[in-house]
Structure 1
């Protein structure tokens, strides 16, 4: 598990271990696994050669670092190809501009941010090295209280942090447990997969749901418009997951369900 110390990585490791798999997790700056810098191609190759994994799941990224997100994914893919390991690469809805109403698995990436461009480049590198890899595109990951989104909402609601939640920024939030289970199901399913929640919600509506579950006042959350903020990024990206859902036994719940009090 590359990126095993992250919010998603920890859940993938937990579920895989619970299912009886032997799991090696890596981490870069956080505790929780074997130290690995995926920017170092030789280090990645050495570790994969030592472990000889059957499956590699790569959930590592740094939003502001092209080398980690794009080139690091290339290094992992090259090592997976050499070891003949199955590869699951976790990608993002950030590869889309939001110009379309929704995006299915056949949609061509059209990123408008450096992070989105890095994730799109990573997909190309992965497919080039491991054509049979599973590429899992997802959206905002929440669900157990420890995600950056949930932490931000709690701090906003309690007045310990300034900021606002956009009412026009639409995504399809997914529960981390659902996403991890789907990733483990898709280890033997090559191709592009969209794994996101069934509800399209604004960041503000998502924040209200998170605050209510935590017993906080959702009305205290400040609002704003992304379109008026000047910040880069798509306004609305809806992932169409119907094709992937038809192949999964894991049910991808919507935020209105998994965040219900």
Structure 2
């Protein structure tokens, strides 16, 4: 058995990955709130932004956490196509969940469907990301813990979508984001606890990219995307603010005439 270390850099990777998950969640919830207040193309665009934010946040959380993952007795590489596929899956499935909620007529059913879809998406993203691992030896999973991690993912996703539907105030969004970040992180580490590795030392070169060659630059790039989008969303006025500024300008125009 190889000894698994989930935090090779100490507290840095768990804390950083939690922060990434929270930022993605906060941005996603903020965009969902905006989407529900909008119509037509504007609603669709806000929902796409929400899905890409949550998807990116979850994916970045997973792989920032994986930066701290090491196994004694073997190097670790990542299969590039599978890693990229896990990102696409995260975005598409979260998108399906968010759209189910954004356009669902029956709130309860939309929430159940959206939560289940998004939760399964988060879980499949996690295990696809794990399937991209290349090491000397065999990786096994404890089915009970895998099942638990999927349940956590579905509950977390449902709670997050419920928050997106019912929460309007920025403070409540912040609290919901911290809770969702915690849920995504606990799903990740529960999934990681399910892993055991039977190391078979070998001199052959592993296929794939190292964490620093591939995962790290991609995580930094996506992290930057999240920060920039957050800034854009934070600075763009809400529908209420736009109405207020429009009505404030009207009296001035009539006086000018």
- Shorter-chain TM-score above 0.5: no
Q: TM-score, normalised by structure 1?
A: 0.22
Q: Quick one: higher RCO (CA 8 Å, sep 6+), 1 or 2?
A: 2
Greater strand content: 1
Q: TM-score, normalised by structure 2?
A: 0.22
Greater helix content: 2
